Amino acid sequence: MHMVYLDSASSIVASQLESFGLENDMRAAERSQKMLNLDRPTAELLYMLVTSSQRRRILEIGTSNGYSAIWLASALRATEGYPLLTIEHAPDKVAQARANLLAASLQDWAQVIEGDAANVCCALAGPFDCVFFDADRVSAPKQLEYLLPKLTQDALLLADNALSHPDEIAGYIAGVEALQQFDTMTVPIGKGLHIARRRRQP
């Protein structure tokens, strides 16, 4: 049983997107047409991780239509953090995400950046105390490489699809573990959430 509550505007839009995402993804023939939204229990866990550890500067890679951004932006509003930065390469999904964040009254708590994730990660200044990887898993190691100098001492890294796409995410997980700076675990929730928290250096 899951009992994580958003405010009324965000909750209505999130529920609508859950239904839309399921129906759309059943009909869509190509992967690029799918929304591939988080399962709600995973979204709720993200919200709890962010709020309980008081994360205030979050980067999301892979916005889609903004479902997970609604949860992350809501969490940042709760922690009185900075607006979420979220990257999406598909122009139609960028437009959907911006419209959905506006409908959820979260337009001031999220900035949707259109572009190639690796290029954007290279250009962003940071710092970030939390990064959520939810685009194609194969490019995540390069994104991580660009972001490492911009992470806080106790940065939290989150990545979805750790159990549903183990081969595709293997390079990212190996890259995190090779750094020998992070405590890691995979939570069997939704499609599998990989969690890595950087150990503070003495």
Which of the pair, 185 or 34, is modelled with greater confidence?
A: 185
Q: What is the token pair recorded at 119? A: 């290029």
- Domains along the chain? 8-198 (3.40.50.150)
Query: Which strands make up the sheet holding 151-159, listed edge to edge?
Result: 110-114, 84-88, 58-61, 128-133, 151-159, 193-198, 182-187
Q: Where are the alpha helices (DSSP H) in the chain?
A: 8-27, 40-52, 67-79, 91-103, 117-123, 140-147, 166-179
Confidence of residue 1 (pLDDT cuts 50, 70, 90): low
Residues 34-60: tens digit of each pLDDT: 888 889 999 999 999 999 999 999 999
- Over residues 141-156, the pLDDT tens digits come to 999 999 999 999 999 9
Instruction: Provide DSSP, 137-186.
Output: GGGHHHHHHHHGGGEEEEEEEEES-TTTSHHHHHHHHHHHHHHT-EEEEE
